Structures are given as structure tokens and as C-alpha cells.
Amino acid sequence: MRGGAITDLRNKIIHASLHLFEEHGYHGVTVKQIVETVGTSKGGFYHHFTSKDELLFVIHDTFITYVLEKATTANATYTSPTKRLQAIIKSFVKVFDLYKPHISVFYQESNYLKGKYESLIKCKRDQFKKIIFDVVNEGKKCGEFRESLSAEIASMAILGMVNWTYKWYKQSGEKSIDEIGDIFVDLILRAILSNDPTFSNEYHEFILG
């Protein structure tokens, strides 16, 4: 039996590291701690990873790759910028349930990535930003979003609002991740939708009444 099994040592290491990194930070966790948590040895660890740095990279990469794919799919599913943005945000927010520890590590420890690892992640991260930015810009062009909107700032505002969720979201919290996603979409659309009735659509009517 090769790869894939949930009980693979490799996956166990990643899983354990994720939670350790999330709580104590990358430099707050030693390889010794990781292997002891998993119940393996230095040998086991370095059989599957060339370095501690590579482990950090793998965690980053699995997350950003997943998110990027989801955003691309959401983007391809719709044509209207409003619907696209809504789908992207909702799909991204949903990731918090699955990848909370990945996300924490992604945003807390990314500046410890070095060399090629850093470039590889930066590239994908920029792709994701570009998707948001393009949608906002497209929305302005076709009149669904306000013309006066600064696409750059609005994009970063959206990203910030959504990304920041990793700092406070708890699965045990009052609101489900789906509800939070809906609230975010509501807030964002209210903030950026055009008031011009010429371009009004179902969202305008629903949200702006």
C-alpha cells in the first residue's frame, strides 16, 4: 500500500505540526517535539522531509493550492462580477472549517519561508489576489460596482476582512462559518454595489431594498 492512507507517517507529521505550529509558532516548536507528539523518531521525520523548512512549505502549499483552485472554480462558474465575488468569498470563508490551522500557519509564519519556498508561495498568493482584484475591476467596468470605488483599496479591504477571520473564528462559536460568509458577502456588497438603478439586479433589490 503506497501513499494516501490517513495513517501515513507523513500525514501524521503534517497534522501534528499544524496544531503545534498554530499554538506555539514555527520557531516555538522543535523537531523533537513533533516526532514525540507523533510517536516517531528523527529518522522517521527526515525520511519524509528534507528539512523542517520543507514541512513549513508543504503546509503553506497545500492550503494556498486548494484555495486557489476553489477561487478559480468559483470564478469560472459565474460571469457576473457580483455573483463571482459572492461565490469566491463564500468558498474562501468555507475553507476556514477545513483548514483553520493551515491558515493560521500561513498568515503567522510565512515570513520564515526562505529562498525557493518563499517564491513559490508568493507566486500563488499573488494569483489569488489578482483574482479578487480582477473581479472588482470587472464589476466597476460593467457598472455593477460603484465607479468611484478604488479597486486596489477595496480588494485589500475585502481580503483583510475575510483573512482576519483566522484570528477569531472558532468552530464552537455562535455563528456557523456559512452564516459568517453570508454576513461578509452582505457587508461587502452593500459597500461596493452601485446605486445606479440602471444596473440594479437581484442583489441590489435584496440588499439595498
Partner DNA sequence: AAAATTAGACCGACTGGTTGGTCTGTTCAA
Partner DNA sequence: TTGAACAGACCAACCAGTCGGTCTAATTTT
DSSP 8-state class, residue 46:
H
CB 137 within 8 A of CB 149: no
Rounded Cα distance between 125 and 123, Å, is 5
Please report how the helices 151-163 and 177-192 are oriented relative to each other, as an axis angle in degrees rounded to 10. 160
Minimum separation from the CB atom of position 25 to its own copies (A): 5
Rounded Cα distance between 42 and 147, Å, is 58
Which of 23, 24, 30, 176 is in the footprint of DNA by CB under 7 A?
30
Q: Is 153 in the site for its own copies (CB under 8 A)?
A: yes
Rounded Cα distance between 151 and 147, Å, is 9
Which of 31, 58, 68, 161 is in the footprint of its own copies by CB under 8 A?
161
Q: Is 31 in the site for its own copies (CB under 8 A)?
A: no
DSSP 8-state class, residue 109:
S
Give per-residue burial for 170-189: e unless 16+ CB within 10 Å, then b: eeeeeeebeebbbebbeebb
Which of 43, 160, 197, 209 is in the footprint of DNA by CB under 7 A?
43
Which of 187, 201, 202, 206 is in the footprint of its own copies by CB under 8 A?
187
Minimum separation from the CB atom of position 186 to its own copies (A): 8
Q: Decide whether 7 or 111 has the Cβ nearer to its own copies.
A: 111
Q: Decide whether 62 or 163 has the Cβ nearer to its own copies.
A: 163
CB contact set of 138 (below 8 Å; sequence gap of 6+)? 81, 84
Q: Decide whether 5 or 153 has the Cβ nearer to its own copies.
A: 153
Q: Give me the residues that bind its own copies (CB under 8 A), please.
A: 23-28, 108, 111-112, 150, 152-154, 156-165, 167-168, 174-175, 180, 183-184, 186-188, 190-192, 195, 208-209
* Residues at the contact surface with DNA, assessed by CB under 7 A: 1-2, 9-10, 27, 29-32, 39-44, 46-48, 50-53
